[in-house]
């Protein structure tokens, strides 16, 4: 068979694998946005069978044959760039998956599904002991995976981190988080010491969901979201999903909270733009699927939610329209009052109800706990108390019960260990990108005040998005910023931002 024919067959096979992935993604979106509650079991069993088929294809004899034939030097160098890069990803996936016992994995998937249901009960009953045995089993499975792969890593926990963000390690995170933690703790102390209270009651006035949706759609459109290849839907928890030409961004509008649904759309819109702006050359290949880059993905949502939107110029473009649409709630509220209220310090025991500053400590606490768990320094039974101690020490919060403590997030009870740190690593990357975009687009503030957000989207597309999965996250960061991960940009940004909101320097 000629090399051209072999390459063509391989691309057709990749397309077939991609179809299975797309079905899983379509089911996920359908379940989250439209499907009735009673359909949960039906859709879960379809998704589980399709996932199994997908895994079988990725690790099949057919794949092994393609890898063997296409990896020969004289063949490899005649392949197109897209095929070469796709092949590299397939080899990596194949090698990782072949070490995983399929039966054990199937049992683990079932365990996670039961554990998530148990978690709901434990949270409702406010009783950690109901879920602790399941968590033990999940952690023990994760440790067995670590045993298989740890020889490639410096720290056992790196095995889990690398799964969500290629190249991420305890070494990189410790470097990012150690200074960041101290600075955020200090900044929060300074804000509290200033004694300034920013009133925000008006944000909780009644605004019909339809009006919020109209505004959210307008902002998303200005950000450059392509409604011909995507949509904005509603769901219980905001998320981004879908397939290559149908990127679905969702949010939840609360009629007694005029802003959280909108900031949810700005966040998910950042994720959605990343998905939509992947080069069309990568469609139907693994390069068009953003796996192993959770932190970089998060950098794109936080770039908009925590760095761009908190600039008062962003809201200045919309404010008179918002006042009209939300009449009479904001009639007596100035743009400055509105802006300060949204971005005020709002310490809360619940991560998802926190502000962009104290949120950082919520994640650092989870990271420190995960690191200690997988380095055998703490055990499952220690978790509720370790959680309380750290919340008190870093945020000054007294946790009243496990419902608002260890049981608040589903992540660990669904097997997601190594995922949490991506939120703040992504925030640090976002601040690094932000420092460059402000140099490349010197009229950045004017762009915001005129609502020409697509200029920013074009910058992100050309520097980050269009690469899809063809470059490693750290390589993209290095190419754009000429630097390694560095939290100093985030620290500087936070000081500037909170000095503006609380006028700290004049104290
Ligand atoms: Zn996100």
Distance 456 CA to ligand 1 centre (A): 19
Distance 267 CA to ligand 1 centre (A): 6
The CB-side HSE value for 443 (13 A sphere, CA atoms) comes to: 8
User: Among residues of the chain, what percentage have pLDDT more than 90?
Assistant: 88
Please check the confidence at residue 405 and state whether its pLDDT lies above 50: yes
Question: Mean pLDDT score of the chain, rounded to an integer?
Answer: 95
Distance 311 CA to ligand 1 centre (A): 19
Please check the confidence at residue 499 and state whether its pLDDT lies above 60: yes
Distance 301 CA to ligand 1 centre (A): 6
Distance 271 CA to ligand 1 centre (A): 7
Give the H or E element holding residue 230: strand 230-234
Please check the confidence at residue 505 and state whether its pLDDT lies above 80: no
- Which residues make beta-bridge pairs with 242? 247
Taking the CA atoms of 81, 84, 86 and 88 in sequence, report the sign of the dihedral they define.
Answer: negative
Radius of gyration of the CA atoms of the chain, in A: 23
Distance 360 CA to ligand 1 centre (A): 14
- pLDDT tens digits for 104-128? 988 898 888 888 889 989 999 999 9
Predicted confidence at residue 507, as pLDDT, reads 44
Q: Which residues surround ligand 1, an ion (CB under 5 A)?
A: 301
Q: Are 270 and 261 in contact (CB under 8 A)?
A: no
Distance 249 CA to ligand 1 centre (A): 11
Q: Are 16 and 285 in contact (CB under 8 A)?
A: no
The CB-side HSE value for 313 (13 A sphere, CA atoms) comes to: 13
Distance 116 CA to ligand 1 centre (A): 21
Residues in CB range of 130: below 8 A, 6 or more apart = 118, 121, 122
Distance 339 CA to ligand 1 centre (A): 22
Q: Are 439 and 305 in contact (CB under 8 A)?
A: no
- Which residues make beta-bridge pairs with 251? 234
Predicted confidence at residue 413, as pLDDT, reads 93
Please check the confidence at residue 396 and state whether its pLDDT lies above 90: yes
Distance 268 CA to ligand 1 centre (A): 6
Q: Are 268 and 240 in contact (CB under 8 A)?
A: yes
- Burial readout 221-245 (b: 16 or more C-beta within 10 A, e: otherwise): bbbbbeeeebbbbebeebbbbbbbe
Structure tokens at 467: 């690469």
- Which residues make beta-bridge pairs with 333? none
DSSP string, 385-403: HHHHHHIIIII-----SGG
Q: Are 222 and 451 in contact (CB under 8 A)?
A: yes
- Count helices and strands in the chain by DSSP H and E runs: 22, 3
Edge to edge, the sheet with strand 230-234 lists 230-234, 246-251, 240-243
Cα distances from 386 to residues 23, 188, 256, 420, in angstroms, run 41, 21, 34, 17
The CB-side HSE value for 37 (13 A sphere, CA atoms) comes to: 1
- pLDDT tens digits for 236-266? 889 999 999 999 999 999 999 999 999 999 9
- pLDDT tens digits for 288-328? 999 999 999 999 999 999 999 999 999 999 999 999 999 99
User: What is the spatial distance between Cα 71 and Cα 41, in angstroms, rounded to a whole number?
Assistant: 42
- Which residues make beta-bridge pairs with 249? 232, 240
Q: Are 219 and 269 in contact (CB under 8 A)?
A: yes
Distance 119 CA to ligand 1 centre (A): 22
Mean pLDDT along residues 487-491: 98
Alpha-helix residue ranges (DSSP H) falling in 126-237: 132-149, 158-164, 170-194, 209-222
User: What is the spatial distance between Cα 501 and Cα 130, in angstroms, rounded to a whole number?
Assistant: 43
Please check the confidence at residue 417 and state whether its pLDDT lies above 70: yes
Q: Are 175 and 367 in contact (CB under 8 A)?
A: no
Q: Are 116 and 414 in contact (CB under 8 A)?
A: yes
Predicted confidence at residue 109, as pLDDT, reads 85
Q: Is 268 a catalytic residue?
A: yes
Under DSSP, is residue 311 helix (H, G, I), strand (E, B) or coil?
A: coil
Give the H or E element holding residue 249: strand 246-251
Structure tokens at 235: 């769901």
Distance 68 CA to ligand 1 centre (A): 38
> What one-character DSSP code corresponds to residue 421?
H
- Burial readout 496-507 (b: 16 or more C-beta within 10 A, e: otherwise): ebbbbbbebeee
The gap from C-alpha 304 to its chain's centroid, in whole angstroms, comes to 13
Distance 451 CA to ligand 1 centre (A): 23
Structure tokens at 451: 């609502």
Q: Beta-carbon neighbour count of residue 452 at 10 Å?
A: 16
- pLDDT tens digits for 6-47? 999 999 999 999 999 999 999 989 988 888 878 878 888 888
Predicted confidence at residue 72, as pLDDT, reads 96
Tokens 């079988």 sit on residue:
56
Structure tokens at 256: 């007694």
Please pick, among 163, 268, 305, 368, the residue that the annotation labels catalytic.
Answer: 268
Distance 300 CA to ligand 1 centre (A): 8
pTM: 0.95
Q: Are 367 and 173 in contact (CB under 8 A)?
A: yes
- Cα of first residue to Cα of last residue in the chain, in angstroms, is 77
Tokens 């300034």 sit on residue:
196
């Amino acid at each position: 068979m000629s090399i051209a024919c072999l390459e063509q067959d391989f691309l057709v096979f990749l397309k077939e694998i991609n179809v299975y992935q797309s079905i899983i993604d379509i089911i996920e979106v359908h379940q989250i946005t439209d499907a009735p509650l009673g359909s949960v079991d039906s859709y879960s069993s379809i998704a589980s069978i399709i996932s199994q088929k997908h895994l079988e294809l990725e690790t099949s004899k057919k794949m092994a044959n393609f890898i063997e034939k296409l990896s020969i030097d004289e063949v490899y160098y005649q392949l197109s760039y897209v095929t070469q890069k796709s092949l590299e990803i397939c080899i990596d996936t194949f090698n990782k998956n072949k070490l995983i016992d399929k039966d054990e994995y199937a049992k683990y998937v079932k365990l996670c599904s039961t554990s998530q249901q148990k978690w709901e009960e434990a949270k409702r009953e406010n009783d950690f002991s109901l879920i602790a045995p399941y968590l033990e089993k999940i952690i023990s499975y994760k440790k067995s995976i670590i045993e298989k792969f740890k020889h490639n890593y410096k720290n056992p926990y790196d095995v889990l981190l690398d799964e969500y963000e290629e190249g991420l390690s305890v070494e990189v995170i410790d470097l990012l988080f150690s200074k960041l933690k101290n600075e955020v703790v200090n900044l929060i102390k300074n804000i509290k010491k200033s004694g300034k209270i920013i009133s925000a009651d008006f944000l909780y006035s009644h605004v019909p969901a339809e009006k919020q949706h109209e505004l959210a759609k307008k902002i998303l459109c200005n950000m450059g979201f392509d409604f011909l290849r995507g949509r904005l839907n509603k769901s219980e928890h905001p998320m981004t999903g879908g397939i290559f030409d149908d990127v679905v961004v969702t949010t939840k509008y609360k009629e007694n909270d005029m802003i959280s649904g909108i900031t949810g759309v700005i966040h998910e819109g950042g994720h959605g733009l990343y998905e939509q702006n992947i080069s069309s050359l990568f469609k139907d290949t693994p390069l068009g699927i953003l796996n192993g880059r959770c932190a970089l993905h998060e950098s794109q949502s936080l770039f908009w939610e925590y760095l761009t939107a908190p600039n008062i110029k962003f809201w200045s473009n919309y404010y008179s329209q918002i006042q009209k649409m939300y009449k009479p709630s904001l009639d007596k509220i100035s743009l400055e009052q509105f802006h300060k209220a949204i971005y005020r310090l709002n310490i809360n025991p619940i991560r998802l109800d926190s502000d962009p500053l104290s949120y950082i400590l919520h994640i650092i606490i989870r990271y420190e706990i995960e690191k200690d768990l997988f380095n055998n320094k703490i055990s499952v039974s220690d978790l509720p108390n370790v959680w309380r101690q750290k919340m008190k020490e870093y945020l000054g919060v007294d946790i009243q019960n496990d419902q608002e403590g260890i049981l608040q997030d589903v992540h660990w009870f669904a097997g997601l260990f190594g995922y949490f740190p991506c939120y703040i690593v992504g925030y640090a990357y976002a601040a690094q990108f932000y420092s460059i975009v402000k140099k490349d687009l010197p009229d950045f503030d004017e762009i915001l005040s005129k609502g020409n957000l697509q200029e920013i989207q074009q910058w992100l597309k050309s520097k980050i998005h269009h690469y899809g999965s063809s470059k490693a996250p750290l390589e993209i960061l290095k190419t754009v910023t000429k630097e390694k991960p560095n939290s100093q940009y985030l620290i500087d940004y936070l000081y500037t931002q909170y000095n503006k909101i609380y006028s700290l320097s004049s104290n």
